[in-house]
Chain A
């Protein structure tokens, strides 16, 4: 859409862009990997350590139940953390870069 407005090659070589790219990639890949690994603890844990997942935590709530609920909380947490970080840092760096390019 906005293909003709910018000199893409100049942007690609700009140190600020490279910095932003590294920062963003590290953050996104790292947290995605964490989220996926954490998620697989549920099916793998249930499959290979069924006794642990049957331990009662509170009333009739067992570890499996509590851990499933925790999955929701952790996913929400990652999402809010990312949105905060993106609104605060990534958007600011992008705007600075655009301003510098004129």
Chain B
């Protein structure tokens, strides 16, 4: 039955894809992808992840299996999965884009997300592992047994998840709209259905393995692209940076960002790109962002939930350290990616495709493979797109799982049923809840159409900010930049 579901889904997707003819009026200010290669790549990735879901579904029999993969995830695996949860499309597309347009400020933006793991490690990870079972409500209820406490924990989890979820689904919908020219609503419904299948059948085990594979693919993409960029500068990072500084288009772009109508004599615009203050101009903004980083990430339900999947406190510690190194390493690579995109493709082009620079990574992949129209260029673009798409699917799966755990485990099993529910019933309720959460997300998203929801994290907001109108056909590439979006 699962197999037939899977096949019909693939059919549905390919039908949806082929029903849409290619747009002949393609303009230079948007990504030109090869639809056949891109669609094939998407289908391959979806097929692989679906395979994992079918495998995981067979092994999921109890509530502990469903919510916490039976506690059988090792520290190393969990570390990769946390990195997967954390390196969302926003980081890959958003931070790279920020660096490609605003230089070092984009990199400074990426410091907070790594430092926050010190808070997670010192304060959150072990108590979560030791006191929690499946949800944040479990941890609080250990000391305060009043149902209201659990209810409040469940409520806050669901609220955080929904905001985050909608923002991510918009990202996925936009990506499919831009790359495959599938209408936004169709994309959102398709993405929503895929996620319901992932979470509904596979539970935590499937979500974890999808995250691990996706984190691996993303790291692979990052490493290959970084090496290709450095190879163009003789594998010398210092030479690469001096090339960035002496690039005329970057100098022109910085002058536009600073709103200098005439080049000021003696002002080194290229070097200014590597100096702070192009994007985050006010120190108060920076401090406020810093507080959000230091404390905010430690409260993300889908990250907290990861600590319930490891067998002991030692594994919880190890998973944070593995995640920190992977994430930090990835962010350092995004500096090269962002500046490389700026150097080789010019900030003006990146900006004309997307005002926030969010398509920089994708355009860069195509360029590094040999450019638009070349087989390797289109293949690499398709691969990076498919990985980005999986990233969104995986992150949303984690969110759906976290919110369905809060509803099914906290509200239904513990508050309504007073903790007395048969294991089979628990799994059934959890699956139904995931389905419901997914459906609610789809309905909210299609109803609100292209309304952009405020996101709890400015990082996520950036990647899918209202300015990212990828289909804009604006031609003037050297228009003066509006101040930081």
Contact = CB atoms under 8 A, between A and B. Distances in A.
B115 interface: yes
A15 interface: no
Q: Looking at chain A's contact residues, is the secondary structure mostly helix, strand, loop, or mixed? A: helix
B147 interface: no
Interface in A8-56: 28, 31-32, 35-36, 39-40, 42-44, 46-48, 50, 53-54
Nearest to B271: A60
B234 to A, nearest CB: 13
Given A40-B287, A42-B111, A76-B328, A54 B117 contact: no
Most A-side CB within 10 Å, residue of B118, B119, B324 = B118
Contacts of B112: 39
Interface stretch (B236-244, B249-257, B391-399, B448-456): B236-244
Q: Looking at chain B's contact residues, is the secondary structure mostly helix, strand, loop, or mixed? A: helix
A53 B278 CA distance: 14
A80 interface: yes
Contacts of A79: 117-118, 121, 320-321, 324
A86 B238 contact: no
A78 B276 CA distance: 26
A1 interface: yes
Nearest to A71: B111
Nearest to B329: A72
B122 A43 contact: no
A51 B287 CA distance: 19
A75 B328 contact: yes
B35 interface: no
B259 interface: no
Contact of B317 (A59, A61, A86): A86
Given A39-B290, A65-B104, A79-B324, A32 B283 contact: no
Contacts of B245: 60
A95 to B, nearest CB: 11
B111 A53 contact: no
25 contacts: A28-B122, A36-B294, A39-B115, A42-B108, A43-B287, A46-B286, A50-B275, A50-B277, A53-B276, A58-B238, A60-B271, A61-B241, A61-B274, A65-B107, A71-B115, A72-B111, A72-B332, A75-B118, A75-B328, A79-B324, A82-B317, A83-B321, A86-B317, A87-B314, A87-B317
